[in-house]
Amino acid sequence: MRKAIFLSSLPTLLMTAACSSDSGAFGNSPDNEENTENSQNENAANNESDENEGLPKEENENNSTTEEEAQESWDPVTSYEQNLENVNYETESSETISSIFPENYTNTEGVLTFRGNNLRDSPSYGQADVQDEELEVIWEKPTGRSEEWGGGAGWTGQPVIVNWDDDIQENLALHEEKNSDDLVEVIQGSLDGSVYFLDLEDGSETRNPIDIGNPIKGSVSLDAAGTPLLYVGDGVPEGESFGFRLFDLYTNEKLHFQTGRDDYAFREWAAFDSSALFNREDDVLLTGGENGLLYNVQLNTDHDAEAGEVSIDPDVKTSRYEADDHEYQGIESSLAAYKNLVYFADNSGTITAYDTKTNEPAWMLPPLDDTDSTIVLEIEDGHPYLYTGSEVDNIGENGTSYLRKIDGLTGEEVWSTGYDAYYYPDVVGGVLATPVVGKEDIDDLVIFTVARTTDVYEGTMTALDKETGEEVWTWEMEDYAWSSPAPLYQEEGPTYLIQGDWQGNLHLIEAATGERKDTLDLGANIEASPAVYNDKIVLSTRADTIFGIEVK
């Protein structure tokens, strides 16, 4: 059941450098040398960026402004001064890592991180050509199994899909028969503890899997510079090491391990479900840990594509935070970023804006309830806005899931609307799926999926007006969903959505109206989120299978 819309109805809790109090802290840690393992630390240099802009090559030929010229005019943003009496931060190290995300996240074709980029608004690359409005399985790839967690992929479990530059691909650790001009590679982390490398066309292996040893629950990431550098976060510990890893995909060898078991953290749980962002201009990696730490890593990458060699010498800085009424630290969502402002939610439901130029928080909102769904950003005339939704978890009983639009510079709420949701321990209700912020013919809509609403096993998918938060359409789902929807944009014709649910159904939906066009039964719970490359979809179920699906 939906509740009324509230305009700026919830209290705003903000913090800047002007605040002072002993009741909370947000600080930078020492260098943490004891927490890192780096097998390649010879040299340091910035990554070289590629020539295209993450779109089909022919769309970029008429761009007369060089990327260097555009970046010079890409000034950092300044959040408005706000005061906060009950939250403070402290800096333990005078050394900081400053970075500003570029206007284009990557020049490499594909989906390189969870939801595609730093705004977290692009789980789909390219354009589909939908004729028959049908979904068809074109290949299946079985995985192994963890004894406790099974196989396939869970939440969030999105693959990356990449069309490598030719000079890089020729030196990758591919099976010889897969080193072809038309290869598009799928990289999928699995609950069985392996990372799989597959051909988008037929699902066959492009190289040998990498065995991590721990189930992977979150989504892997590739370096936005196009360098074959892979980030993988652990989901649960089944081996001795528990943290995140970086791999050289020329050789499939591990370059770096970062433990999440850190005495500096306020929380002991060391998982990394968050999917890392790579700043290709500043050679910086950013991610959040479920230990409650924010990781800011200067990679110091040395990449020689011609020789097929890459090395890193990571300089790792971590920040921690405390605030009143903040009992559940841990960042399971993936960070979103605009220029120098990075946004994240945590297990208390706190939402924080962090300034990477100063390495200080810009503002913080008070907790509602656990928020693991990733924040999605939209930039309106140079002004960032956040779309976010909360769960029904910490409250310990049935409650309200809040969907919100928030001003990214002030932290002020633009609108909020609530949906009644059931509390269900460990498999909670509310928003776990990351929303779709519409573009093209649905540029007035933001689309949320809310779990356990009208009944404990049912859900609601709703399209809201971006300006007002009013419902445009609503679908009362027979089976709830944690999996994030993904859009299918076309050069001509309407935009469609794909949405998986816990019973294994994959739905094709007309995005402007909510009308269901087709349903494909994949046979088992779809928790993982899909990635889309033109008219092909890749996603996994909890039943030990990765699927390739085509939209007809």
Q: What is the pLDDT of residues 446-504, one digit of tens each?
A: 999 999 999 999 999 999 999 999 999 999 999 999 999 999 999 999 999 999 999 99
Which phi and psi (to 5°) does residue 67 adopt? -60, -35
Strands (E), 312-382: 315-321, 336-338, 341-345, 351-355, 360-365, 376-380
- Both structure tokens of 106: 């990557």
Task: Give ∠ CA 252-304-161 in degrees, rounded to 5.
Answer: 50
Question: Could you tell me the pLDDT band of residue 1, with boundaries at 50, 70 and 90?
Answer: low
Reply yes or no on whether the pLDDT at 125 is more than 90.
yes
Contact 108, 96 (CB under 8 A): no
Contact 413, 406 (CB under 8 A): yes
Q: What is the pLDDT of residues 433-448, one digit of tens each?
A: 999 999 999 999 999 9
- Both structure tokens of 483: 């999996």
Q: What is the pLDDT of residues 128-166, one digit of tens each?
A: 999 999 999 999 999 999 999 999 999 999 999 999 999
Please state which architecture CATH assigns to domain 87-551.
Answer: 7 Propeller (2.130)
Segments making up each domain of the chain, as ranges: 87-551
User: Residue 417, preceding bond cis, omega within 30 degrees?
Assistant: no
- Both structure tokens of 439: 């573009």
Question: Could you tell me the pLDDT band of residue 31, with boundaries at 50, 70 and 90?
Answer: very low
Q: 């206007």: which residue's tokens?
A: 103
Reply yes or no on whether the pLDDT at 44 is more than 70.
no
Q: 């990431």: which residue's tokens?
A: 221
Distance of CA 299 to the CA centre of its chain: 20
CA distances from 9 to 85, 215, 404, 414, 415 (A): 20, 41, 11, 9, 8
Question: Could you tell me the pLDDT band of residue 358, with boundaries at 50, 70 and 90?
Answer: confident
Q: What is the pLDDT of residue 322?
A: 81
Which phi and psi (to 5°) does residue 283 adopt? 60, 45
Q: What is the pLDDT of residue 79?
A: 67
Distance CA 15, CA 87 (A): 7
Q: What is the pLDDT of residue 251?
A: 98
Strands (E), 146-211: 160-163, 185-189, 194-199, 210-211
Distance CA 478, CA 114 (A): 27
Q: What mean pLDDT value characterizes the chain?
A: 88
Mean pLDDT of 177-190: 96
Start-to-end C-alpha separation, the chain: 35
Q: What is the pLDDT of residues 499-522, one digit of tens each?
A: 999 999 999 999 999 999 999 999
Q: What is the pLDDT of residues 332-355, one digit of tens each?
A: 999 999 999 999 999 999 999 999
Q: What is the pLDDT of residues 239-291, one digit of tens each?
A: 879 999 999 999 999 999 999 999 999 899 999 999 999 999 999 999 999 99
Contact 257, 243 (CB under 8 A): yes
Give the least confident one: 75-79, 185-189, 409-413. Answer: 75-79
Three-class SS of residue 166?
Answer: helix
Distance CA 339, CA 318 (A): 20
Q: What is the pLDDT of residues 292-329, one digit of tens each?
A: 999 999 999 999 999 999 999 999 999 888 877 777 88
Amino acid at 301: T
Give, for 169, the enclosing helix (H) or strand (E). Answer: helix 166-169
Q: Which of 49, 64, 30 is nearest to 301 (CA)?
A: 49
Which are the contacts of 492, defined by CB distance < 8 A and separation ≥ 6? none
What proportion of the chain, given as a percentage, has pLDDT over 70?
84
Strands (E), 23-85: 26-28, 36-38
